[in-house]
Homo-oligomer: A and B are copies of this chain.
């Protein structure tokens, strides 16, 4: 992972991050595009990663025996991509198609608008870029961007699964030890502090509603209290949003609230997809439930949210891919990696009072709301 996502892209070139990450697979080191794909397939690598938000990441899941060869190939992909002129056109064509496909994915499109409406800094940028800037990209611009942003400065390498630590240190040292350079400076997140509403008129069958508001940054001591507060709202079948909005009233097929973070800032992000007729009531009940949370939670609600979080923590521990992602994310946002035990103890230590205290200091208010669909809504005062 490197700090080469759209957030740190040059002005007017957001889409370069995704195009560059894709171009790195079009030949690197001694391999041409075809040869590289075949070499990766030969390792049984299930490719993961991509460029989004603050990060560009490379990697995937594969059998432990192939780790050494995978590190070798990734050193080529990241440090020595060929970035050939001839591959630029098909890669840009794909990026334009992905952007165009957003028109057929209204929920995803709504989130692009919501993020852009909330963040006034580069953090609101979409990884998809814009068609006019994508079309203007040259192979030279990609090479320049690669030299500037693909650097060891702030880069994180995470490995989970079966490996020997001393062997890994040696293998990484041999492939990346002589890598030098400084990376792009990370901008500070800036965001809307007053309520705000935007409607995107579109002839969709459903109305897609997004709502976000400021919560705590990743390194805040209330971290576990905030996570459990959201667990009371959303997660299980007995959680409040599911019960009030979906089960009792049949208003929406899906409704959720979850924490969303960038470095230095955190928000709560909510989504509901419903029919245009039920959309105003859905937004009203959603806002009401967010505010009602500050009035207190029952001990049983907290307990269920806790069991749900601990249960998914254990399951995450079983998946090497999920564990590798968690390691990267901890290191990026917190500057260190938490053990599963530390997280468990943090989750176990939260009391109902701690949640109420947290919500008194960080109430649900000053909502940024975006709706996409046939109907313009009114955000409850």
Contacts and interface: CB of A to CB of B under 8 A. Distances in A.
Copies in the complex: 2
Contacts of A42: 303-304, 307
A238 interface: yes
Contacts of A246: 94
Contacts of A237: 25, 37, 40-41, 47
A247 B33 contact: yes
B319 A94 contact: no
B206 A100 contact: yes
A192 to B, nearest CB: 27
A103 B34 CA distance: 38
A284 to B, nearest CB: 17
Residue with the greatest number of chain B CB neighbours at <10 A, chosen from A98, A103, A236, A248: A236
A335 interface: no
A46 interface: yes
Interface stretch (A141-149, A249-257, A261-269, A353-361): A249-257
A37 B319 contact: no
A318 interface: yes
B46 A205 contact: no
Residue with the greatest number of chain B CB neighbours at <10 A, chosen from A44, A239, A253: A44
A90 B249 contact: yes
B44 A101 contact: no
Given A33-B247, A41-B236, A63-B314, 6 more contacts: A41-B235, A42-B303, A44-B308, A46-B311, A104-B107, A104-B206
